[in-house]
Amino acid sequence: ARAWVEPEFRKRLLEDGRAACAEFGIDTEAERLIAVENTPQVHNVIVCTLCSCYPRALIGMPPTWYKSRNYRSRMVFEPRAVLKEFGTEFPDSVTVRVHDSNADMRYVVVPMRPQGTENWSEDQLAEIITRDTLVGVTVPRVRS
């Protein structure tokens, strides 16, 4: 949410995710934390094909599905099909990029800010950001 409301923080997060998290007192455990930004042209999603490397300090314990062999293998070979199972679909014009975490390098997705949230506070925005949006299997949704 901070990246949505503060352009300078967004820039720092995209340049060095670990240092940006340190501003909040969060030690990301891994040597590097790479923030990848979703755009209208590109949707990013995270997986760890070897085990379950995941930015725990940032978003908590990984869900069971993230650690499953099914997710880990299928996300690489058929990401659109897996995303569809999460209710996340994009037109063919949107590129889906899969990022593979490892012990030294973790990823986090900076989701696109939903339309209609332009006047929302950072606290309001934080309520629509979930673990799944930070992994990239879903997108933030404005509840009506």
Active-site annotation holds for 21: no
Active-site residue, selected from the candidate residues 21, 52, 121, 144: 52
Question: Residue 95, class by beta-carbon neighbours within 10 Å (0-12 exposed, 13-18 middle, 19+ buried)?
Answer: exposed
Nearest by Cα to 83 from 53, 38, 125:
38
**Distance of alpha carbon 135 from alpha carbon 130, whole angstroms:** 9
Active-site residue, selected from the candidate residues 51, 68, 73, 121: 51
Active-site residue, selected from the candidate residues 21, 48, 68, 93: 48
Active-site residue, selected from the candidate residues 21, 53, 121, 144: 53
Active-site annotation holds for 52: yes
User: Which residues form the catalytic set?
Assistant: 48, 51-53
